[in-house]
């Protein structure tokens, strides 16, 4: 008898449609798994078992009535707590939003419910999605379900979508939403041995998603495998007149067009990503990936993305600049926390509320952002960064005249221990070195598991594609997945200790 919680989106949906099990049985099984794991993993900020059951009951009733079922019918998912969910606390993992219950639903979450998915709860994350380890949450660290062999040191699940990655890797949610501003879907997916796709900027509506850096923020899917990511992304994507940067393009049927045959395709390998002192296991997994795509029929082409080394500093100017502006709205007047000291005036209330409500990383970003936008420094930093951003995007445009997709590692290492990098923000930022270039260029990019490193921890490979070519990204990722031999079936999943 299969264990329901071992199954992913496609298997659950098809099982429900066939009547192998009911949606209610599925929701019940995952609700129990969530409850059992919550004390150890802290993947959720709030759990909503009743929401999962309500959605399941609707699917079971529709099936009984012979009504057509949605793409995600009967699949309960975790929702990153950056998506506004009606009447359910939405915090961005910040104290400043504690207790905030939106009166509206984000477009992406609404689309998922319309497709028949249910909600297991709101997933923990780095505060306002700022971080790479899930250590900046005001609701405690998420603990990765992965451990080094014979070692109980708690490891980071990656960030900012660390609750999402931990929950999917631990099989307490078959899939979860993520958001990616500079790597927050791909890096946590890599750290936990799951798959995650960030689509082209504009594919998924940002309406109702707590804003971090609006020109970079994109929602995406995190799931067991490439097929499940394709299915879920289809349910999430689509034009939304409520988001001025939403792409007005049809959403292709990505899952149906999946094809791992890479014959006639060219894969670019950018030499600038081969950094001095690169972790030998990461370098080896990259070489493995190259060999796998060759085996799938692709031609490998060395390419150059000359401005790569400027991507990280550019990102860490643009993202904080936008964040400082976006986060100005948390002032104690409109949402969540209000700190109004005795006899205080309006300015004092702003200051007290923001001092008490924002965590140290968020304050750091606001200060950097305000600095680079200030009159004396605007041109030297912000304008300059915008120009370099264009050069980075142009590097990709040129490269894609030669190749169909680009293959690089997702992150410079496997998961690190909690506390290992949190004292040094720069060291934490370096973790994003391979993920931010695609974000700055607005391109679709996906991380798939590549195998385990010398510490027995997962590594990810990243496929970057042309704008709007999620299909190309998914297809190359599928070719990698089929050769990486990394699956729950062959034991490539965390041993259960929680």
H-state helical runs in 174-328:
186-192, 226-236, 280-295, 311-326
Site stretch for ligand GLN (CB under 6 A), options 43-51, 66-74, 104-112, 128-136: 128-136
Residue keyed to tokens 């200790």: 497
Omega of the bond leading into 21 within 30 degrees of 0 (cis): no
Q: How far apart are the first and last CA of the chain?
A: 23
| Active-site pick, 184, 285, 422, 435 | 184
Exposure string over 391-415, b if 16+ CB within 10 A, otherwise e: ebbebbeebbeebbbbbbbbbbbbb
1, 21 contact by CB (below 8 A): no
∠220-4-8 over CA atoms, to 5°?
A: 25
d(CA 408, CA 399) in angstroms, rounded, equals 14
Q: Does 470 bind ligand GLN (CB under 6 A)?
A: no
Alpha helices in 237-345 (DSSP H): 280-295, 311-326
Residue 234 CB, nearest distance to ligand GLN (Å)? 22
Catalytic member of 51, 80, 122, 265? 80
Q: Please, which residue, 179 or 477, has the CB nearer to ligand GLN? A: 179
Q: Give catalytic status of residue 184 as yes or no.
A: yes
List 70, 78, 131, 451, residue binding ligand GLN (CB under 6 A): 131
* Three-state secondary structure string covering 124-168: CCCHHHCCCCCCCCCCCCCCCCCCCCCCCCCECCCCCCHHHHHHH
Task: Report the residue closest to ligand GLN, judged by CB.
Answer: 184
- Nearest distance from C-beta of residue 155 to ligand GLN, angstroms: 17
8 A C-beta contact, residue 473 and residue 197: yes
Long-range contacts of 324-333 (CB under 8 A, 24+ apart): 324/365, 324/366, 324/367, 324/368, 324/369, 324/370, 324/373, 325/369, 325/373, 326/211, 326/212, 326/213, 326/214, 327/128, 327/358, 327/362, 327/366, 330/94, 330/96, 330/97, 330/354, 330/357, 330/358, 332/357
Say whether residue 133 binds ligand GLN (CB under 6 A).
no
Nearer to ligand GLN, 132 or 475 (CB): 132
Only one of the segments 127-135, 142-150, 233-241, 299-307 lies at the binding site for ligand GLN (rule: CB under 6 A); that segment is 127-135
For 459, list phi and psi in degrees, rounded to 5.
Answer: -120, 155
Nearest distance in Å: CB 206, ligand GLN: 13
Q: How far is the CB of 476 from ligand GLN (least distance, A)?
A: 22
Select which of 106, 132, 133, 160 is catalytic.
160
**Looking only at residues 201 through 230 of this chain, which bind ligand GLN when binding is defined by CB under 6 A?**
212
- Candidates 31, 181, 246, 422; binder of ligand GLN (CB under 6 A) is 181
Which of 48, 127, 160, 326 binds ligand GLN (CB under 6 A)? It is: 160
Provide, rounded to whole angstroms, the least separation between the CB of residue 13 and ligand GLN. 28
What are the φ and ψ backbone dihedral angles of 319, each rounded to 5 degrees?
Answer: -65, -50
Does the annotation count 80 as an active-site position?
yes
Interface residue with ligand GLN among 129, 251, 312, 459 (CB under 6 A) is 129
Indicate the SS3 state at residue 406. Answer: strand
The CA-based diameter of the chain, rounded to the nearest angstrom, is: 72
Token pair belonging to 433 = 């070195």
Nearest CA among 464, 428, 440, 447 for reference residue 165: 447
Stretch that binds ligand GLN, among 177-185, 266-274, 380-388, 485-493 (CB under 6 A): 177-185
Closest CB 212 distance from ligand GLN, rounded Å? 6
CB of 390 to ligand GLN, least distance (A): 20
**Using the rule CB under 6 A, is 460 a contact of ligand GLN?**
no
Supply angle C-alpha 485, 74, 66, rounded to 5.
125
Work out whether 432 is an interface residue with ligand GLN (CB under 6 A): yes
Q: Does 180 bind ligand GLN (CB under 6 A)?
A: yes
Q: How many residues bind ligand GLN (CB under 6 A)?
A: 13
Taking CB under 6 A as the rule, does residue 91 contact ligand GLN? no
Binding status of residue 312 toward ligand GLN by CB under 6 A: no
Contact status: 135 vs ligand GLN (CB under 6 A): no
81 forms part of the interface with ligand GLN (CB under 6 A): no
Choices 31-39, 126-134, 227-235, 481-489 (CB under 6 A): range interacting with ligand GLN: 126-134
For residue 451, state whether it binds ligand GLN (rule: CB under 6 A).
Answer: no
> Would residue 492 show up in a list of annotated catalytic residues for this protein?
no
**x-or-dash pattern for ligand GLN, window 10-29, by CB under 6 A?**
--------------------
For position 137 contacting ligand GLN by CB under 6 A, the verdict is: no
How far apart CA 363 and CA 136 sit, in angstroms, is: 11
Cα–Cα distances in angstroms (integers) from residue 253 to residues 231, 332, 350, in the given order = 8, 44, 47
Active-site annotation, residues: 80, 160, 184
Interface with ligand GLN (CB under 6 A): 129-132, 160, 180-184, 212, 319, 432
């Amino acid at each position: 008898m299969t264990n329901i919680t071992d199954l992913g989106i496609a298997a659950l949906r098809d099982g429900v449609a066939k009547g192998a099990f009911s949606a209610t049985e599925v929701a019940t099984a995952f609700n129990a798994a969530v409850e059992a794991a919550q004390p150890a993993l802290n993947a959720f900020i709030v759990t909503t078992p009743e929401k999962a059951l309500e959605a399941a009951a609707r699917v079971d009733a529709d099936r009984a009535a012979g009504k057509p079922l949605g793409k995600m019918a009967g699949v309960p998912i975790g929702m990153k707590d950056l998506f506004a969910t009606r009447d359910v606390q939405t915090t961005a993992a910040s104290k400043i939003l504690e207790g905030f219950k939106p009166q509206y639903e984000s477009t992406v979450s609404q689309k998922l419910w319309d497709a028949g998915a249910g909600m297991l709860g709101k997933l923990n994350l780095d505060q306002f999605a700022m971080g790479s380890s899930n250590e900046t949450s005001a609701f405690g660290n998420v603990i990765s379900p992965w451990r080094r062999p014979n070692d109980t040191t708690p490891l980071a699940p990656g960030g900012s979508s660390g609750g999402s990655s931990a929950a999917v890797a631990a099989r307490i949610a078959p899939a979860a939403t993520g958001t990616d501003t500079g790597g927050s879907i791909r890096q946590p997916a890599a750290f936990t041995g799951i798959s995650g796709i960030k689509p082209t900027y504009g594919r998924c509506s940002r309406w109702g998603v707590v804003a971090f850096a609006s020109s970079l923020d994109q929602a995406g899917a995190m799931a067991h495998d490439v097929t499940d990511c394709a299915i879920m992304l289809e349910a999430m994507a689509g034009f939304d007149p409520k988001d001025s940067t939403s792409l007005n393009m049809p959403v292709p049927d990505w899952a149906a067009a999946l094809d791992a045959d890479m014959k006639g395709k060219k894969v670019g390998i950018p030499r600038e990503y081969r950094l001095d002192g690169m972790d030998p296991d990461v370098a080896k997994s990259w070489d493995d990936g190259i060999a796998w795509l060759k085996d799938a029929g692709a031609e490998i082409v060395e390419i150059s993305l000359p401005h790569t080394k400027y991507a990280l500093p550019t990102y860490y100017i643009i993202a904080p600049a936008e964040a400082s502006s976006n986060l100005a709205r948390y002032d104690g007047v409109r949402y969540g926390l209000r700190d109004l000291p005795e006899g205080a005036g309006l300015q004092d209330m702003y200051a007290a509320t923001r001092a008490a409500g924002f965590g140290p990383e968020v304050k750091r970003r606001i200060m950097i952002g305000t600095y680079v936008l200030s009159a004396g420094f605007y041109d030297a930093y912000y304008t300059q960064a915008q120009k370099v951003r264009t050069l980075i995007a142009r590097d990709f445009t040129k490269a894609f005249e030669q190749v169909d997709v680009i293959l690089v590692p997702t992150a410079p290492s496997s998961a690190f221990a909690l506390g290992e990098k949190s004292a040094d923000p720069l060291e934490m930022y370096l973790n994003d070195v391979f993920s931010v270039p695609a974000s700055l260029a607005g391109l679709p990019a996906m991380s798939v598991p590549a195998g385990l490193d010398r510490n027995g921890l997962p590594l990810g490979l990243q496929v970057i594609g042309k704008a709007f070519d999620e299909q190309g990204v998914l297809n190359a990722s599928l070719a990698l997945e089929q050769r990486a031999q990394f699956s729950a079936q062959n034991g490539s999943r965390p041993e259960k200790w929680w």
